[in-house]
Structure 1
Amino acid sequence: MNRRMMLASAALLLAPLAAQAQTRDVSVTIYNSNLALVEDARPLDLKAGRQKLEFKDVSAAIRPETVSLSAPGVTILEQNFDYDLLTPDKLMEKAVGQKVKIVRTNPGDGKETTEVATVLAANQGVVLKIGDRIEVLRDDGVPTRVIFDKVPETLRARPTLSVSVEAAGAGTRQAKLSYLTSGLSWKADYVALFDEAKSTMDLQGWITLSNNSGTPFENARTQLVAGDVNQLNDGGYRSSRSPGMISAGTESGVGERVADYYVYPLPERTTIASNQNKQVGFLSAQGVTAKKVYEVREGWFTSQAEPTKAVVAIQFSNARLAGLGAQLPMGTMRVYMRDAAGDPKFVGENAIGHTPAGSELSIKTGEAFDVSGQATLVAESRVSKRLTRYEMKYLLRNAKDQPVTVELRQGGLGRDSTVKAESLKGRRIDAGTLGWSVPVPANGETVLTFTVETGW
């Protein structure tokens, strides 16, 4: 079984006082929450004393307050992130109050005329003063271009981080620039080919890397971090419930760890261009034990006026004994089954959360055409000031020409809940849920009854 994950890396073009042709070691660590850590290590040729270093092509989505530059004998005095990029509109805005040259070409004879103009305004159009007249620069069919004396210092061709440092002495130093940036993300997608007759499935996992940071990341060492890293202003409380997971596992998963997160380093350096998505395979497993189930779920003790269609789901475990033995990062799982001709057909998809190894998962693929359940609250009575007794009846129907087992789930349990009677032995799924595996004959029905006392 092969498990590898892949992600995107960063290529910061360092343009300090050192020569451009320097050996660099760039790495990117990408988190689930639109966050990445960029680390760029390289030698710098420094002179003694105060000087300014420029790091070009840093991420346009850099978080400047997270920048760190470390080098032996070097002290950071000041840093600035210049992201006001050079464009024709920006160039004209910066020229307000200054003189420019306006060159017009006569369409008839091709002759050029040049005039000196003062830019009065550049708001929703350009207003010029040429001699004693005021003129609006507009596209009127006459070829016109504007000549500027220089590019303003505040405009940059690329996002640039400038750092003023104090070096204790001249010479080459090994330096590392690191910072956090948004605009880089990854997500997992799974393709499951389910074989109902064999009760197995083949599972493939893909990582999609996305780079919307405004900067290409080239030939970098990359790694992915699975887990929700807490950040300020990220929406606050998150539910701890993991979609698709029936019960959490207790097995140790494969892969590296940092703190309480799993880290997946890519086996090779990789490049992801700006505004690009890239897919990389990270998991392949064959013959994983799986089964199709029909699920009927109720969140409270109540009667239903109409039958509810059973949910169709694929249940499996990512435990070692089931043939997988790996934690699964959050993502979307798509399920396929072969038709009579042997061709795989898509049958449904659902989300899963970060799932530890050894967990039980249930992937909803749709709703059953011919399996249903209908709940009836037979009786409700107050047992004590704190406890209430509910008598429930479920009618489970099967219009298929073969028997099925319906996984019935009854929620709504509070503290000190006790099952007083049941027509079929059930089990406690979690603190608030009871469960029964109910056999229903072909073209038939089964009635399940139970009585429970629960309190709050």
Structure 2
Amino acid sequence: MAKRAFLFGCLFLATNQTACQSFAGVKPMSLEWEKATLREAPEASFELTLYQDNWALVTDARPLELGRGRQLVRFSGIPPQTVGKGAYLQVPASVEGRRFRYDLSNKEHLLEKYDGKTVVISDATSSLTAQLIWTGSGPVYRIGDRLYPEPPGKVSLPELPGIALTPFLEWLIEPPESWSGIATASYQVESLGWTNEYTLITNEEQSRGDWKQWAALSNASGKAYEKARVTLVAGNVKRIHPPFPMYYGGARAMAEDASVEAFAGRYQYRLPGFFDLGKKAEERVALSERKNAPIERVFRVEGGVSLFLQPDPELPRKARIRLHLDNPLGEPMPSGKVTVYSPGSDGKLAIAGEPSIPDTPKSQRLVLDLGEAFDVTFTRTQTAYRLFEEQTEVSTLIKLKNDQKFPITVEVIEQASGDWTVTESSLPYEKISTTQLRFQLRLDAESERDLSYTVAVKRERRQ
């Protein structure tokens, strides 16, 4: 039982990058951070791998010189939003321990460091000393023989030896021999990521358009990066940590498109050149574009067959504008918002809609829903309702009206439940599923057109 418990401890330490020896009667060595020789690694170069749910993997390469024996390698100047768990250091040495230090990460964490220490409480006219007692949920102050949950003034903290006023990562290592070279640390950082966006500028008829893909880079991690290599990963990666909100800002164009390549079942973009991402930076980078892409505009009408008597016609409803187009970039398209601009009669552009698209393979067709059309309307009327022993027959009339100055394509989608069959129809139709039928027709400019059909639905026999 003891060996089993010790083995579990070894596995736990190993996941935290701590060396653990065999459980066959050998105890793991204790971690003596303060006694090890400190080796500060100065900043040199960064590679940032940004993910769409606002986090990043930072590859931090720094020059480092190591002697023999146990040493403490410190990477200072890292972001306050660093995630210490999972940080990894690549050096030719055995790594015995790792820790992330930043005592100003929040107020509670700082005050906990002063548990049992003497602090000063002052107001406008006087000051006094008190003992801070940390309760686990907040501080309590002992003044004389009394306890105060709230301090009677402003609290000032004395300087405390060993307190980490700036964030840093440390590894306790022991190399077999002296070494000089580049040590590479990899660690996760929150509030440093990217979102994918698109713009589509169409002609007045929305039959063609210029398509452009943008990457919105955001850095709210608390650290500025200079001359960093940047890779963007498309698609969400499963993590324990929740995403943080994104921010947006100005735009930047690159001399060449970012190349897209497959990566672990997803795709990534390697941005050419180097990037400066300052604190609270918000920057857009053009990734790719396609000029004069063909578009099919369809006005969609949706309704359903009612198996109940409906003597009154429905009120007029508006069709929805949908743009259909083949993948305009000819490559996998990450999910993102599409801002569609279209010109008015005066040629000035205005936003026609802002739909979102899911992750889209390169062979998949896109559909952009722009919302309701103002002057393409329809009404539905139940013109016949007949009950028979074995089936119910329902006849429907749909009146379509186009008040635009352009001819349009209309797609009518009707929902039907049960075991149904179309017995009559004024136009050809397509049964696209067990619950849907589809009509498609052209409607001239400033015209009306009727569509009628009859559906027979089998009735369930009662036992």
- What TM-score range do you get, normalising by the shorter chain? 0.7 to 0.9
Name the CA distance, whole Å, in 2 between partners of 1:211 and 1:299: 48
Deviations 1:66-116 (A, max 9, x none): 2222222x111111122321889976664454456899999xxxxxx9x99
Correspondence for 2:414: 410
* Structure 1 position 290 matched with structure 2 position 295: yes
Q: Root-mean-square deviation (CA), in Å?
A: 4.1
Answer whether contact 2:316 2:377 (CA < 8 A) is retained: yes
Answer whether contact 1:439 1:446 (CA < 8 A) is retained: no
- Please report how far the alpha carbon of residue 318 of structure 1 lies from its aligned counterpart in structure 2 after TM superposition: 1.7
Task: Give 2:75's match in structure 1, choosing from 44, 48, 55.
Answer: 55
Correspondence for 2:213: 205
Total equivalences in the alignment: 399
Seen in structure 2, the aligned counterparts of structure 1 residues 449 and 288 have a Cα distance that, compared at 3 Å, is: same
* Aligned residue runs from structure 1 range 332-411, under 5 A: 332-376=337-381, 378-379=384-385, 392-411=396-415
Task: Give 1:43's match in structure 2, choosing from 30, 52, 63.
Answer: 63
Correspondence for 2:247: none
Deviations 1:175-232 (A, max 9, x none): 3211233322211222211113582111222211122333333322111111232345
* Aligned residue runs from structure 1 range 269-284, under 5 A: 269-284=274-289
Seen in structure 2, the aligned counterparts of structure 1 residues 23 and 214 have a Cα distance that, compared at 3 Å, is: closer
Correspondence for 2:187: 179
Correspondence for 1:34: 54
1:257 is paired with a residue whose SS is strand
- Please report how far the alpha carbon of residue 310 of structure 1 lies from its aligned counterpart in structure 2 after TM superposition: 0.5
* Aligned residue runs from structure 1 range 214-229, under 5 A: 214-229=222-237
Correspondence for 1:77: 96
**Residue identity in the other structure for 2:414:** Q
Task: Give 1:64's match in structure 2, choosing from 84, 93, 97.
Answer: 84
Name the CA distance, whole Å, in 2 between partners of 1:266 and 1:62: 23
Name the CA distance, whole Å, in 2 between partners of 1:272 and 1:52: 30
**Residue identity in the other structure for 1:318:** N
User: Percent same amino acid among aligned pairs?
Assistant: 29
Name the CA distance, whole Å, in 2 between partners of 1:314 and 1:453: 33
Name the CA distance, whole Å, in 2 between partners of 1:234 and 1:88: 21
Deviations 1:224-258 (A, max 9, x none): 111232345879xxxxxxxxxxxxxxxxxx72111
Answer whether contact 1:195 1:337 (CA < 8 A) is retained: yes
- Please report how far the alpha carbon of residue 263 of structure 1 lies from its aligned counterpart in structure 2 after TM superposition: 0.8
Seen in structure 2, the aligned counterparts of structure 1 residues 356 and 379 have a Cα distance that, compared at 3 Å, is: farther
Seen in structure 2, the aligned counterparts of structure 1 residues 427 and 61 have a Cα distance that, compared at 3 Å, is: farther
* Structure 1 position 310 matched with structure 2 position 319: yes
**Residue identity in the other structure for 2:86:** T
- Please report how far the alpha carbon of residue 365 of structure 1 lies from its aligned counterpart in structure 2 after TM superposition: 2.3
**Residue identity in the other structure for 2:349:** P
2:70 is paired with a residue whose SS is strand
Name the CA distance, whole Å, in 2 between partners of 1:99 and 1:179: 36
Name the CA distance, whole Å, in 2 between partners of 1:375 and 1:453: 18
Name the CA distance, whole Å, in 1 between partners of 2:363 and 2:226: 37
- Please report how far the alpha carbon of residue 343 of structure 1 lies from its aligned counterpart in structure 2 after TM superposition: 1.9
- Unpaired runs of 5+ residues, structure 2, are 1-36, 244-258, 459-463
